[in-house]
Each structure stands twice: as C-alpha cells, then as structure tokens.
Amino acid sequence: MKLYSRLASVAAFLGLFCVFAVPAGAAPVIKSQAPCSSTTFCLQFTNTGTIPVIRSFTFTAPSVGTAEVSFHGALVCSDVNISQRNPVVVDLVSEIVTASNATPSATMPGGLRHAVVWEPIILNVLFTGFTQSFNLASTRVVSVTSAGNKNFFFKIARLRMDPDTSCVVYNAAFSVVFIP
C-alpha cells in the first residue's frame, strides 16, 4: 500500500510539472515546403557562370527558440563530352546558410562535400560518358533569438568542375522543426 501511495504522489507531481512547465502556446512548430515545382528538374548549372541559390525558405518563428532546419534533394552531375580521354572532376560543397550571399562551406553547420572523379573508359576508341548522383540531405540547428521571419538558403559552390560537366538538382525542399 505504501508503494502505491508513493507512486501516486510521483504521478501527481509529474502531472503538475507537465501542466505548469510548458507555457501555453509554446508547442513545437513544424513547417515544410513542397519540392521544387518544375516538371523535370529544379535547376541546372554547368562548369561556368554563377550557381544560383538552389532553394530559399522563410519561416516565421513565433518566439525565441531553436530551429532544426533540414534540406532534402538530389544532385545529378554528368560529363557531357563523349570524346573526353582524360579524368574528369566535379567537386562541390553545399550548405544551409542564413544569408543569400553567404559562401557555402563543407566544414560549417549543414555543410557537405560532393566530389567525383571519372576515369576515362575507352571502348572502341570512344569515351562512354558518366553520371553520378549525390544526396543533398543536410540538417543544421539554428538558435532563434527573436520572433519573426527567419530566412534559410541552400547553396552550392564549385570547388572544381571540369569543362563539359553539368549538374541538375531534383526534388529540393526545406523543412523546419521549431522548439520554443
């Protein structure tokens, strides 16, 4: 009987703690964005020119808290020169950043490195070409110091892309889990 009484006291205490420990309106918030809406792919870039922001996402934080920001998508890179007889390199970095002009880094939160070297295969003196896919899944935790709009961007930077290489992004989307 004494054990039952003690368990009932602990249960009552935990119940009061749960009721009073979390302020009203302080529930976690989950927001997501639909994958990019192009009928074939989100965007494409080559070894020349600026790589645009892959996706952006604005989340309205209801208060101070912590946001777990995730990005999902796929990257497919190809060597489009079928007469190439030298190794071909694609070396990229990606990152979830909080400013559209930030330079992504593989060593920062939510940063990744994507690299491939294609060695030439000569069959009947003709190079066969290559394609490589990369998973862009990335997550970072961000401290939110005030309520309001918070902007996130997924960016890719080129460390090296040899001539005649091209990359395409598919199914790019953000999601945020916010804990007050």
pLDDT at residue 67, rounded to an integer: 97
Task: Work out the angle at residue 90's Cα, subtended by the Cα atoms of residues 87 and 91, and round it to the nearest 5 degrees.
Answer: 125
27-179: CATH class = mainly beta
Instruction: Tell me the backbone φ, ψ of residue 42, rounded to 5 degrees.
Output: -75, -55
pLDDT at residue 146, rounded to an integer: 97
pTM of the predicted protein model: 0.81
What's the pLDDT tens digit per position in 39-77? 788 999 999 999 999 999 999 999 999 999 999 999 999
The count of other CB atoms within 10 Å of the CB of residue 64 is 11
pLDDT at residue 130, rounded to an integer: 81
Enumerate residue ranges in the chain where pLDDT < 50. Answer: 1, 3-22
pLDDT at residue 122, rounded to an integer: 61
For the chain, the average pLDDT equals 84
